[in-house]
Amino acid sequence: MSVAIYNDLKGIRFGKLVVIEKDENNKRKNYWLCKCDCGKNKSIFRGHLTANRIDHCGCLSFQKKSAINKTHGETNTRLFKIWNGMRDRCRNPHNHSYSRYGGRGISVCTEWSDFLTFKTWALFHGYNDTLSIDRIDNNGNYEPENCRWATNKQQANNKRNSQIITYNDETYSLSEWSEKLKIPIETLRARVRKNWSIEKIIITPLR
């Protein structure tokens, strides 16, 4: 029988939490005071308990973070926050950016599940504290072949509606090619619409 049908949650266990009583001191409705196995008491919304969305006071998250920090000691570094944010956008439906990442099917490659592996890639591919991670193909995943370290300007050029062109192992948005070749972007867009080959688009001089 599902615990969700009970009106009185007193004494019921949810993971590491045991419900003590309804929290009448909480001004918000339907909150219950729970005791965690770690010894800490916490007031939790009934729906979060019965839906199994919360099953500890927060101690497991703290322990997990402490374990990670103990492993490499870099949880407070900018690079770790970039790595963590990248994964959260793709995996956490409650992240405010999830709809533009995980919600569109964007994922992080298995190789980058390990922070130190990601760090090694970053340092060998030009990372510094002024750059942010950028996916070359905005519809592609976070993986070594599809990522680079980019300036804010480069990131702005690489929006979902930007045309991405690779020629001679150089990959840029249409805006970046326009700047690089000194050819108006409308001219390049016209060439794309005419279905010119990549080579012809890039090497044809401006008349």
What is the pLDDT at residue 69? 54
Q: How confident is the model at residue 203 (pLDDT cuts 50, 70, 90)?
A: very high
- pLDDT tens track for 145-172: 999 998 877 666 665 456 778 888 787 7
pLDDT band at 119 (very low <50, low <70, confident <90, very high): very high
CA 106, CA 201: separation in Å to the nearest integer? 30
Closest CA to 51 of 20, 83, 15, 24: 15
Give the per-residue pLDDT at 54: 84
pLDDT band for 3, please (50, 70, 90 cuts): very low
Q: Rounded distance, CA 24 to CA 32, Å?
A: 8
Of these ranges, 73-77, 110-114, 156-160, the one predicted with the greatest mean pLDDT is 110-114
CB within 8 A of 36, min separation 6: which ones? 16, 17, 42, 56, 57, 59
Using DSSP's 3-state secondary structure scheme, residue 35 falls into: strand
Per-residue pLDDT band for 66 (boundaries 50, 70, 90) equals low
Neighbour-count burial of 169, counting CB atoms closer than 10 A to its CB (0-12 exposed, 13-18 middle, 19+ buried): exposed
